[in-house]
Amino acid sequence: MRVKAVKVGGSVIAPKNRPLNADIPAILRLAEELSNYLRDSGNQLVLVHGGGSFGHYLVKECLTRDGELRRECFSRVAHYMMMLNSFVMEALLSSEVPAASLPPRSICFFRGKLPECFVDAVKELVSKGVTPVLFGDVIPSSTGFEVISGDMLVWELVKELGIKEVVFATDVNGIYTDDPKKNPKAKLLKEVRADEVLREAIEGEVTSSVTGGALEKVKVAVELGIKGVKASVINGLVPGNLYNALRGKVEGTVIWF
Ligand code: ADP
Ligand code: IPE
């Protein structure tokens, strides 16, 4: 039995074009793919989802002008993330995934820039055959409250649980040489080493540097000291892609750490 991690982007389940917009058909389909994977492989999963139009929209709305996340904003964002999480949970349960939600604000806090999470709670569920479901959230920090992204959280779990494989489902076909939504000439990378991605980004080669959300996914992992892990980035809007990637057939980008 192996444990793999999955991060489903807010871009897939709650597109940011409208506030509080959940894509229920996409959530139901992905839940079914995860259920099929668990049944067919006999493996275990740890699931993290993003905030999309629930998290990001509200955070922007309630931050103070100087970017402080006060307790009223913390409570509000926390509440709306539970709402999105409950859609995900409903879908998982109706697909017969033995899932249980673990709100990150109750097990993680930021000490400086890096999170510390009480991962025993996650390990305990996995050891009992339950699929823990976490999400990008707002968590306490030494000075107040901060957002923890689903990307950072999934890497933290990969590190602390010694997971060797993680799949990121997002709204584009993988990692490109540039933002594919802005640059039609951007090329899809099939297989890369994390250090190559970072080197090219630092050297700033306009034709080959990875940017934005995609680069952040790699940077966070390097900051956390991730090594010996296979990360796949696939388009979660394409039916079957998540199931296939978990089964080893990646239609997207593989990044080796
Ligand atoms: P998610 O919610 O799936 O984590 P993000 O919004 O954080 O999504 O990141 C995905 C977005 O990153 C894509 O929609 C794409 O427009 C953007 N992006 C920027 N640079 C790149 C790149 N080099 N390769 C792929 N996507 C990129
Ligand atoms: C954001 O999580 C959570 C909040 C803003 C509260 P993510 O940063 O992982 O969300 P996506 O996947 O990019 O939408």
Per-residue model confidence (pLDDT) at position 225 = 93
Which H, E and C letters describe 25-70, residue by residue? HHHHHHHHHHHHHHHHHCCEEEEEECCHHHHHHHHHHHCCCCCCCC
What is the mean pLDDT of each successive set of 10 residues along the chain, which is 257 residues long? 96 92 97 98 98 91 92 96 98 98 98 94 97 98 95 97 98 92 92 86 56 80 94 98 98 97
Give the ligand 2 atom nearest the CA of 59. Answer: 5
pLDDT digits (tens, 9 = 90+) for 22-47: 999 999 999 999 999 999 999 999 99
Per-residue model confidence (pLDDT) at position 203 = 66
Per-residue model confidence (pLDDT) at position 135 = 98
- Of all protein residues, the one whose alpha carbon is nearest to atom 2 of ligand 2 is 136
Per-residue model confidence (pLDDT) at position 159 = 97
Ligand 1 pocket at CB < 6 A: 9-11, 50, 170-172, 175-176, 178-181, 210-214
Locate the domains of the chain by residue range: 3-163
CA pseudo-torsion sign 171, 172, 175, 181: negative
Per-residue model confidence (pLDDT) at position 9 = 96
What is the whole-number distance in angstroms between the Cα of residue 52 and the centre of ligand 2? 6
Predicted TM-score (pTM) of this structure = 0.96
Per-residue model confidence (pLDDT) at position 209 = 54
* Nearest ligand to the CA atom of 215: 1
Per-residue model confidence (pLDDT) at position 57 = 86
CATH number of 3-163: 3.40.1160.10
Per-residue model confidence (pLDDT) at position 206 = 45
Q: Is the CB of 52 under 6 A from ligand 2?
A: yes
* Phi-psi label, residue 151: left if phi above 0, alpha if psi -120 to 50, beta otherwise: alpha
Residue 184 has phi, psi (to 5 degrees) of -65, -15
* Nearest ligand to the CA atom of 145: 2
* Nearest ligand to the CA atom of 73: 2
Q: Is the CB of 56 under 6 A from ligand 2?
A: yes
Per-residue model confidence (pLDDT) at position 202 = 65
Per-residue model confidence (pLDDT) at position 33 = 98
